[in-house]
Amino acid sequence: MDKAVIDLILYSGIAGITVFLGGIIANYFSHHIKESPVKYEITHTLMSFGAGIILSAVALVLIPRGMEELDIIPLAILFLIGTLLFMLLDRYLAKQGGQVSTLLAMMMDFIPESIALGAVFSSAPSTAFLLAIIIGLQNLPEAFNSFRDLVISGYSTKKTLAIFLVLSICGIPSALAGHFFLSQYPELTAYLMIFASGGIFYLLIQDIIPQSKLANNYLTPIGASLGFLVGIVGEKVL
């Protein structure tokens, strides 16, 4: 196997494994840390931190990359399609009694960014490595919050961790697809990023940000600001 391909698998594996690690940490936090107001505040602060990171991914990575390639009309149409489809999906899941909004947002963030990782790898390996680190940092708090949502929805710990393990691995084929098939088609990658942005933005406003709010607590919005700052610093480094 070509060394470049091995490196790409390694980079995307590093970016993806934090999904599983986030689930492991969330499981430990849920079962081994006693219930208390402090634990409740930490949980909501991490939720807002993850929301800030997801928002930074949309505002600083997905939408700007899409705007570089697409004209205004297809860009607007695709963003609205993503928003409307995820509204319908969210309504369906709400009727089923599930809380998987954070998981959906993480997937809609992680998969397009993994594809972008593969697409830029051949031309800028050092940039791809930094992007892998940033994706990994994004996945950790998002997975932490997603674990909580899935357990509340009735998923067992083993099933939830199994889902996270599969998602961790999904970053590798996504990056390989971006490298071998989409690196020559930047417009197609841009379509995917804008569509994902519309869906993520809907989930953020409808589900994730409202759930992170905690009355009479000022730490949670700081968590969101710090999460967004992570994205700013990452984008500046890239």
Contact 227, 52 (CB under 8 A): yes
Q: What amino acid occupies position 89?
A: L
CA distance 238 to 227: 17
- pLDDT one-digit tens code per residue, 143-179: 888 888 888 778 888 999 999 999 999 999 999 988 8
Distances (CA, A) of 57 to 121, 185, 201: 19, 21, 10
| pLDDT of 13 | 92
Give the residue extent of every domain in the chain: 3-29+37-237
CA distance 38 to 26: 15
Among 14-23, 107-116, 170-179, 212-221, which is the least confidently predicted range? Answer: 212-221
| pLDDT of 45 | 81
**Cα atoms in the 13 Å half-sphere on the side-chain side of 55:** 17
pLDDT confidence of 30, banded at 50, 70, 90?
Answer: confident
Among 62-66, 70-74, 126-130, 149-153, which is the least confidently predicted range? Answer: 126-130
| pLDDT of 73 | 94
| pLDDT of 96 | 65
- High-pLDDT (> 90) share of the chain, %: 14
Query: What does the mean pLDDT of the chain come to?
Result: 82
pLDDT confidence of 110, banded at 50, 70, 90?
Answer: confident
Classify residue 62 by its DSSP letter. I
| pLDDT of 79 | 95
pLDDT confidence of 97, banded at 50, 70, 90?
Answer: low
| pLDDT of 169 | 92
pTM (2 decimals)? 0.76
Which is nearest to 119 in space by CA: 52, 45, 184, 44? 184
Which is nearest to 188 in space by CA: 141, 105, 119? 119
Q: Is residue 32 pLDDT above 90, yes or no?
A: no
Q: How many CB atoms lie within 10 A of CB 178?
A: 29
